[in-house]
Chains A and B, each alone.
Chain A
Amino acid sequence: MKNLIADRWQKYNFLFEQLVARDFKQRYKRTYLGIVWSLLSPLLHLAVMVLVFVNFFGRTIPHFVVYVFIGLKVFTFFKEATTRGMSSLVANRNILTKIKAPKYLFLLSKNVASLLNFGLMLIILFAFVLIDGVPIHPRFILIVYPIFTLLLFNIGVGLILSALYVFFKDIGHLYEIFAMLVMWLSAVFYDISNFSETVQRLALINPIFTHIHFMRSVILYGVVPEWYVFAICAAYAAAMLALGAFFYKRYNYKFLYYM
């Protein structure tokens, strides 16, 4: 297994690097202002959220801007990576019907490009952390864990969606709506600690919420999350990845035959 991965890496790392570079650039090249826009638009998004909700929840939630930003960015990371993963095979049909290359690389590169974007957002997040006077803590390093499990989770979801996308064109629209539902259920701008114990437990069924919860615990409150939060994050990642791999193995080449 280890040898296999090392072997693949040896063979494909150049291609992978080129694909990631392409996916990352695509985002910033479209407009003249490119990178400025892609930083400005999440900030404006954040500003709108904060302005709208500060009167409802801002009074009871300390460091409201950081609180919302964490929720928003974790959710965006999930949504962007999975949405782009969904079309990653079909969108590269032109290449994949002519050149033999592992198709999963096209999906992984979208995920890594999204991860890089998320990394940029983390820099902004820490700017907010400093400005807002949230105490800096060595435990911050723990956020690497949920980022990693979310990355795997996203890859798994992307693999499943990319298989479905071959057969059902409208899955994109449905997914858009589904993602919106997930966002509203993920306590991006509200706090669930006012709800009953049961609701708080139930919220952990939502993987995105669990990851947001993890990041907030560490950054806002400087605490190490409960052991089961670690376990749940890992379980979501493992389950989705396994399911995704199953779908991929079964369906990844089918789209070549659909005209």
Chain B
Amino acid sequence: MTIKVENIRIRYIVGDFRNKGITDYILKKLKGEQVSRAKEFWAVDGVSFELYKGDFLGIIGNNGAGKSTLLKAISGVMPPTQGSVTVNGNIAALLELGTGFDGDLTVRENTFLRGALMGYTREFMKETYDDIIAFAELEDFQDMSFMQLSSGMKARLGFSIACLVRPEILILDEVLSVGDGEFREKSEKRMAEIIADGAITLFVSHSLGQVRKLCNKVLWLEKGKQKAFGATAEVCDMYEQAMKKKKKGA
């Protein structure tokens, strides 16, 4: 099981002609005017690394450093604009679990839909549906429409469905645990099991403490660029020093 990321770059397009529309576009073309080109920006700009069986990678960096986008490229949701990602092994990405549900559907319907999206089989969902609801502690809400749930409940449901995966390669966007109090503990425990079962884990975090505790390798991104990749202690120390300097400077 390996992951090989080779010099990948991912480009977003912002404030584009989409806002102006096709009529405007055609009019400008007819008049021979320059069609205003969309602004581009590289969310991930030249990142390379390799991971092997047993690796636990922490990805650190400020907001907007391209961490989530990088995870999306590795999980295959967003193919990179340039460069290549090679993944050997089955992979599951748990990203922003509480979102992407359909407000009009009931909790039950959403659970099945999400399960199907996660790639679970019909039989598996039928068997585990009750367990999912029990784990999320939503027994009394099964036939309510999803938008009536509180945001905590939504996150709990998202987590409960997602935590049934048993991938070899696990991608996490700060979802080591959700909810509060008892559920927090429960979900943390479940996540630890999934991680223990898998071979490679990639994990975005804002908590250096967590990264130092869990990871053996760290990737540090800044504005899409790769600042450092290497052993945890080394990269974390570098990062901390850089942050201190920045604070002093400011």
> Contact check: which of A95, A164, A171, A258 meets B13 at CB < 8 Å?
A258
Listed residue (A100, A101, A256) with the most chain B CB atoms within 10 angstroms of its CB: A100
B113 touches A169 (CB 8 A): no
Quick one: CB contact mask for B14-27 with A, threshold 8 Å, 1 for yes?
Answer: 10111101110100
Is residue B46 contacting chain A, with contact meaning CB distance below 8 A? no
A156, B113: Cα distance in complex, Å = 25
A168-196 interface bits toward B, Cβ cutoff 8 Å, 1 = contact, 0 = none? 11110010000000000000000000000
Structural contact, A257 and B112, CB atoms closer than 8 A? no
CB of B100 within 8 Å of the partner chain = yes
A171: chain B residues within 8 A (beta carbon): 21-22
Residues of A within 8 A of B119 (CB): 11, 15
Interface hits, A1-57 → B, CB 8 Å:
11, 14-15, 17-19, 21-22, 25-26, 29-30
A94 contact from B13, B99, B105, B125, Cβ within 8 A: B99
Inter-chain CA distance A256–B75, complex, in Å, is 14
B116 at the interface (CB under 8 A from A): yes
Chain B interface (Cβ < 8 Å from any Cβ of A): 10-14, 16-19, 21-23, 25, 72, 75-79, 81, 93, 95-96, 99-100, 102, 104-105, 109, 112-113, 116-122, 125
What would be 5 A-B contacts, judged by CB atoms less than 8 Å apart? A15-B117, A26-B102, A30-B104, A99-B117, A170-B23
Q: Report whether A96 and B77 are in contact in the complex, using a CB–CB cutoff of 8 Å.
A: yes
Report whether A19 and B100 are in contact in the complex, using a CB–CB cutoff of 8 Å. Answer: no
Q: Contact: B104 with A168, CB < 8 Å? A: no
What residues of chain A have their CB less than 8 Å away from a CB belonging to chain B?
11, 14-15, 17-19, 21-22, 25-26, 29-30, 94-101, 164, 166-171, 174, 253, 256-259
Bound Cα distance from A162 to B95, whole angstroms: 25
A100: B residues at CB distance < 8 A: 75-77, 93
**What residues of A have a CB within 8 angstroms of the CB of B11 in the complex?**
257
Verify B14–A101 contact, CB threshold 8 A.
no
Q: Are A170 and B21 closer than 8 Å at their CB atoms? A: yes
A253-B79, A258-B16 in contact; A14/B116 too (CB < 8 A)?
Answer: yes
Residue of B nearest to A95 (CB): B100
Contact B14 A99 (CB under 8 A): no
